[in-house]
A and B are shown apart, each in its own frame.
Chain A
Amino acid sequence: MIQAGDEDHANQARNWGRAGIARRNQRLSMMGFRDETGSWYGLDNAAVIMPAVTSAVSTYLFRLSATIDEPIHLPSLQAALERVARRFSYFSVELRSGFFWHYLEPHEAMPRVEADARSPCQDFDMHKRGSLLFRVRARERTIACEFAHILTDGTGGLRFLKNLLAEYFRLRGTEAGPDPDLLDLDAEPAPEEYEDAYNRYFPEHYPHPDYERPAYHIASPSLPRGSYRVITGELPLAEALAKAKELGVTLTELLTAAYIEAVQAIWLEEKTRERAVRRHRIAIEVPVNMRKFLATKSNKNFSLFVHPEQDMRLGPREFSGILSRVHHYLRYEIDGPSMARHISRNVSGGRMLAIRVIPLVLKSPLMRFLYAYYGDNKVSGVLSNLGSVSMPGPLAARIERFDFIHAPSPVLKVKVSVLSWRDSLYISFGSLATSRELERLFLTRLRRLGLPVKVECNLEE
């Protein structure tokens, strides 16, 4: 019986959240506009930098896909897509350049289901006129949605996919039960669905995050242009959860520790001279869904991240030591007020008059410079856990699996994405590197913990 006597933690998170809701925040979080030129949307705070730093390889596309129990019926999928795209009108946009900022303009034509390719998340240029910022692809029994991160994060993307699946199955004769993520497809989208929650919860007078040293990056020759290798490990969820529980950690903590251990092994293999050049800080970016701290209906980006790290100058660590540090680090850092420091830094920049008056042509190089310093430079890898996916009753039986693949990164080379569906845990490594060392070390660690891992690779089928 803990008798602290004070308000509980959740309460407190609400309290600091409330302090952030100033009227100005409310106004600046509105992203939909209608004027003499028609209607248009602003980019959310996390998306602002992306148009400047994207490239043909770094497409900023992430992918969520579902494999169902029948070959895809294309006409039904197309019909479902059209209906869902109308409901998610704020996703049916293309990217345009204004004088000061990029903005999103509604796309005239209806999106069309495309054929899937062997390498996902490639062949895409968000700047191309007339091209949508997401695409729906189909192949055999798989329906895949690839979203430019400029539009949304994993939460928004998954909501879209769930609505698309529900509508598809409705057309194919299976009605969905109730689910909080399923929208009324005939309703008009509410402005809150595309609000910029970062701006809405901007905490005034907050400190910025602490300085971080640049992180070590795995070196490996790149795959041929246009190739994106996805290695997926499938594990029994119950056994993975039991193992995590036995070790006193969460699944994300366990996987992050396996990740750090794998990078550590690669770091130790480097020659001493290269190590000095290639940095001694291993840090893994673990995205955090900010919706769990701050209420929003937004389907735009609203994630931030923490960087569990390890200083290799203090020597290599055993797996148990890494795990304990990751556990305590994540508990310490995944804390509402601490996370809000990132909002403070990111949003205050965008609100500064001196930044706002710079024309976009000059702003873009500035953003590239900032990104080179703050972005992938500070981490060695990314591990994004979407958690367990839920579907309403009758549909769940018809879906065999979900997959989640990260946007490719030429700097980090490999990124890891995780989700679980029913009895299975899926760990996907999206890689631009020829080397598969990281994947091998990571999955070997899971096997050594006694977890059976089934591995498949998109380039080898």
Chain B
Amino acid sequence: MGRGRSAEGRNVAQAKTGFNDETGEWYSLDNAATIMPAVSDAANTSLFRMSADIDEAVNLPALQKALESCARRFPYFCVELRRGFFWYYFQPSDSPIRVEADSLSPQQGFDPNRRGRPLFRVRARTNRIAVEFSHIIADGTGCMRFLKTLLVEYFRLRGTEAEGSDSEVYDLCTSPEADEFEDAYHRHFSENYPAPDPLPPAYHLRGRPLHKGEYRVIRGDLGLAEALAVAKNYGVTLTELVVAVYLDALQNIWLASDAKARRRRPLLAIEVPVNMRKFYQTKSNRNFSLFFMVYQDMRLGRRDFKNIVERTRYQFRLENEAPTIARQISRNVGGSRHILVRLVPLAIKDFFARLLFAALGENLVSGFISNLGAVGMPPGPATRVKRFDFIPAPSSVLGTNASMLSWRDRLYIDFGSRLESRELERLFFARLRGLGIPVRVECAFDEARLGHSGTVPRESLTGTVPREPLMGTVPREARR
């Protein structure tokens, strides 16, 4: 019993990430973030993005003002990454935070290791407000809370007051609590769980990468009610249905790939992030997500769609549960608490972090789809937001990733890709159309090619783009 209390005490102590000593104020990184600085660079920026399309052209002064208020409320996000002798740490950023202009390729031109800038940025274009967060400071939940708070404040300044309260919209008059930046992995660590079983290497999309600095986003806009109805017909959840569609698309690409790739990598693996807040209590806005994998072994032959859906469901129901996923906390936190790991200088840690990530990270994953679920907004601002988008962080290894969320009666599924080929996106949306779900797809790259500038009027942003450019690969020259 005494031992249990001391383990609990240790968890509480280790979950603390905010410090104030003779050197000033600083934060430690949460357990999931520890490895990220070492494996982030100018291409794999660790930035993911959430944006809102609103019903007016963004008023920049108001947005800047709202951002400054929010930055004061979320000081633990306004930090720069610094190297210590043993660990990375966050130092409050001195530089003023300014709204930046959005670009055609989001989440690019950023290196978290560069000094002098906070680990998130807020961008605007015509009627879109976007926040790009480095995964080092938060996961989707934390980022969405920030965006919602920012939007509510922006609309307040623009004359639309929020009615009622929303637990994800922070009161800007309050001060942040330490619980908001606690390391929930450490908080909920249990040494009793075994480490996860080793996972096998997975198939990767291959093909010519886009130019440096380019990140192509293909945005899908689907009818939520129709998608839910189709999922219900199959007896699965929306996430399960979408993961099955993803697997089905990957299966077709695998079958069309060359014999050597098929022989070397016969396993399709989709990483499905899990918000651990649904299993464990925490107020933290730092990372607190883990994942599980959904597999299909292509050596067992092609499977028809219905079969893929069923098998996806079975895997979800077996893997998506607290004890199984908590095994990762056990390994990740247990590893970082190990005395040998702690005593190694950061430079050597970085080396091993890259090695581990190459072997155990993206090597085991063919694709990634994160579902943020239904977004809520307090009445008032809610009517003024036309659309939300969620774009995953770029990955050179995986090539293409997806994220989804739903807003009011629409389901938005966005693909971010570093690859020229759009085959995955095409197959994915074609299957959803085939299931009878209305799908509108758009790609800012093609709009640019069609003669619009990066700041296009709203009408063409939401209009349906001709299907042809999406089907094939846009020649590089045409995009230049």
Chain B nearest Cβ from A292, distance in angstroms = 16
The 0/1 profile, CB within 8 Å of B marked 1, for residues 202-227 of chain A is: 00011100000000000000000000
Is B305 a contact partner of A5 (Cβ separation < 8 A)?
A: yes
> B194 within 8 Å of A by Cβ?
yes
Q: Among residues 292 to 335 in chain A, which have CB atoms less than 8 Å away from a CB atom of chain B?
A: 311, 313-315, 324-325, 328-329, 331-332, 335
A9 within 8 A of B: yes
Contact of B301 among A311, A331, A337 (CB under 8 A): A337
Q: Is the CB of B435 within 8 A of A207?
A: no
State whether the Cβ of B174 lies closer than 8 Å to any Cβ in chain A. no
Contact, CB under 8 Å: A332 / B318 = yes
**Smallest CB separation, B244 vs chain A (Å):** 10
Are A337 and B306 CB-contacts (below 8 A) given A313-B192, A313-B194, A328-B317?
Answer: no
Contacts of A12 in B (CB 8 A): 301-304, 307
Bitwise interface map of B from 230 to 244 toward A, beta carbon under 8 Å scored 1, else 0: 000110000000000
Those of A1-40 within 8 Å (CB) of chain B: 1-9, 11-12, 15-16, 19
Q: Please tell me if the beta carbons of A8 and B306 are within 8 angstroms of each other in the complex.
A: yes
Q: B318 — nearest CB in chain A belongs to which residue? A: A328
Instruction: Please report which residues of chain B, range 284-341, place their CB below 8 angstroms from some CB of chain A when the two chains form the complex.
Output: 297, 299-307, 309-311, 313-315, 317-318, 323-324, 327
Hey, which chain B residues are within 8 Å of A311, CB to CB? 194
Would B306 and A6 count as touching, CB distance under 8 A? yes
B434 at the interface (CB under 8 A from A): yes
Inter-chain contact B323/A315, CB cutoff 8 Å: yes
Contact A4 B303 (CB under 8 A): no
A314 CB to nearest B CB, Å = 4
Q: Are B435 and A3 in contact, CB atoms less than 8 angstroms apart?
A: yes
Q: Return the contact of A314 from the options B193, B234, B266, B307 (Cβ within 8 A).
A: B193
User: Does B327 contact A329, Cβ atoms closer than 8 Å?
Assistant: no
Could you say which residues of chain A place their CB within 8 Å of the CB of B313? 328
Contacts known (A9-B304, A12-B303); A328 close to B314, Cβ less than 8 A: yes
Within 8 Å of chain A (Cβ to Cβ): is B436?
Answer: yes
Chain B residue numbers with a CB within 8 Å of A332 are 311, 314-315, 318
Chain A: minimal CB distance from B417 (Å): 26
A338: Cβ under 8 A from any B Cβ: yes
Q: Give complex CA distance A4, B233 in Å.
A: 11
Name the one of A3, A205, A325, A338 contacting B436, with C-beta atoms under 8 angstroms: A3
Q: Which residues on the A side are within 8 Å of B315 (C-beta)?
A: 332
Q: How far is the CB of B146 from chain A (nearest CB, A)?
A: 34
Q: Which residue of B lies closest to A336 (CB)?
A: B300
Across chains A and B, the number of contacting residue pairs, with CB separation under 8 Å, is: 73
Residue of A nearest to B190 (CB): A315
Q: A341 near B: Cβ within 8 Å?
A: yes
CA distance A338 to B192 in the complex (A): 32
Instruction: Check if B311 sits within 8 Å of A335, measured CB to CB.
Output: yes
Shortest CB distance B240–A (Å): 12
A15 touches B301 (CB 8 A): yes
Partner of A2, one of B306, B311, B327: B306
What chain B residues lie within 8 Å of A4 (beta carbons)? 304-306, 309, 435
Q: Within the assembled complex, what's the spacing in Å between the Cα atoms of A328 and B318?
A: 7
List B contacts of A5 (CB < 8 A): 305, 434
- CB distance B299 to A207 under 8 Å? yes
| A2-B193 contact given A314-B324, A332-B311, CB 8 Å threshold | no
Report the Cα distance A349→B15, complex, angstroms: 53
Is A1 a contact partner of B318 (Cβ separation < 8 A)? no
From A313, A328, A338, B300 is in contact (CB under 8 Å) with: A338
Q: Which residue of A lies closest to B436 (CB)?
A: A3
Q: Which residue of A lies closest to B309 (CB)?
A: A4
Q: How many A residues, CB 8 Å from partner?
A: 32
Chain B hits for A313, CB < 8 A: 192-194
Selected from A8, A16, A329, the residue in CB contact (under 8 A) with B318 is A329
* Min CB gap A25→B, angstroms: 17
Interface string of A264-279 (1 = CB under 8 A from B): 0000000000000000
Q: How far is the CA of A205 from the CA of B302 in the complex (A)?
A: 14
Q: Is the CB of A324 within 8 A of B317?
A: yes
Kindly report which residue of chain B lies nearest to residue A333, judged by CB atoms. Answer: B314
A5 to B436, CA, bound (A): 11
Chain A contacts of B302 at CB under 8 A?
12
Contact with B along A123-142 (1 / 0, CB 8 A): 00000000000000000000
Tell which of B194, B233, B301 touches A1, judged by Cβ atoms closer than 8 Å: B233
Contact A325 B304 (CB under 8 A): no
B193 / chain A contacts, CB cutoff of 8 Å: 313-314
B306 A9 Cβ-Cβ under 8 A: yes
Quick one: given A207-B297, A313-B192, A313-B194, are A331 and B310 in contact (CB under 8 Å)? yes
Q: How far is the CA of A73 from the CA of B372 in the complex (A)?
A: 73
Residues of A within 8 A of B327 (CB): 314
In the complex, what distance in Å separates the CA atom of A96 from the CA atom of B233?
57
Contact with A along B25-43 (1 / 0, CB 8 A): 0000000000000000000
Question: Inside 8 A of A324's CB, which chain B residues have their CB?
Answer: 317
By a CB distance below 8 angstroms, the chain B residues around A340 are 300
Question: Are B311 and A341 in contact, with the CB atoms below 8 A?
Answer: no
Complex Cα spacing A335 to B304, Å:
13
Residues of A within 8 A of B436 (CB): 3
Distance, CA A403 to CA B321, complexed state (A): 39
- Closest CB of chain A to B328's CB: distance in Å? 12
Contacts of A7 in B (CB 8 A): 304
When distances are taken between beta carbons in the complex, the residues of chain A under 8 Å from B324 are 314
Task: Decide if A6 touches B304 in the complex (CB within 8 Å).
Answer: yes
Expressed in whole angstroms, the Cα–Cα distance for A19 and B310 within the complex equals 23
For the complex, give the distance between the alpha carbons of A268 and B405 in Å.
Answer: 43
Complex Cα distance A311/B330, Å?
A: 15
Residue of B nearest to A9 (CB): B307
Residues of B within 8 A of A337 (CB): 300-301, 303
What residues of chain B lie closer than 8 Å to A328, measured between beta carbons?
313-314, 317-318
Provide the residues of chain A in CB contact with B310, threshold 8 Å: 331
Report B347-365 CB contacts with A as 1/0, cut-off 8 Å: 0000000000000000000
User: CA A155 – CA B94 in complex, angstroms?
Assistant: 77
CA distance A7 to B307 in the complex (A): 10
Closest Cβ neighbor of A330 among chain B residues: B314
Contacts of B304 in A (CB 8 A): 4, 6-9, 11-12
Do A205 and B234 touch across chains, with their CB atoms under 8 A apart?
no
Task: Please name all residues of chain B whose beta carbon is closer than 8 Å to the beta carbon of A2 when the two chains form the complex.
Answer: 233-234, 306
A15 to B307, CA, bound (A): 14
Distance of B307 from chain A, by nearest CB (Å): 5
Residues of B within 8 Å of A335, CB to CB, are 311
Q: Whose C-beta in chain A lies nearest to the C-beta of B266?
A: A207
Contact A325 B435 (CB under 8 A): no
**Residues in chain A near residue B309, CB distance under 8 A:** 4
Q: In the complex the two chains form, what is the Cα distance from A313 to B195 in whole Å?
A: 10
Residue of B nearest to A7 (CB): B304
**Nearest A residue to B310, CB-CB:** A331
Distance, CA A207 to CA B295, complexed state (A)? 15
Q: How far is the CB of A6 from chain B (nearest CB, A)?
A: 4
Q: Which residues of A contact B311 (CB under 8 A)?
A: 332, 335
Within 8 A of A (CB), among B381-415: none
Q: Which residues of B contact A314 (CB under 8 A)?
A: 193-194, 323-324, 327
Query: A207-B300, A315-B323, A332-B315 provided; 15 other pairs, C-beta below 8 A?
Result: A1-B233, A5-B305, A9-B304, A9-B306, A12-B303, A12-B304, A12-B307, A16-B300, A313-B192, A313-B193, A314-B323, A329-B314, A331-B314, A332-B318, A335-B311
The 8 listed contacts between A and B (C-beta, < 8 Å) are A3-B434, A12-B301, A12-B307, A206-B299, A313-B194, A335-B311, A338-B300, A341-B300
Q: Which 8 pairs from chain A and chain B are nearest by CB?
A: A6-B304, A337-B300, A332-B314, A314-B323, A328-B317, A4-B306, A4-B305, A328-B314
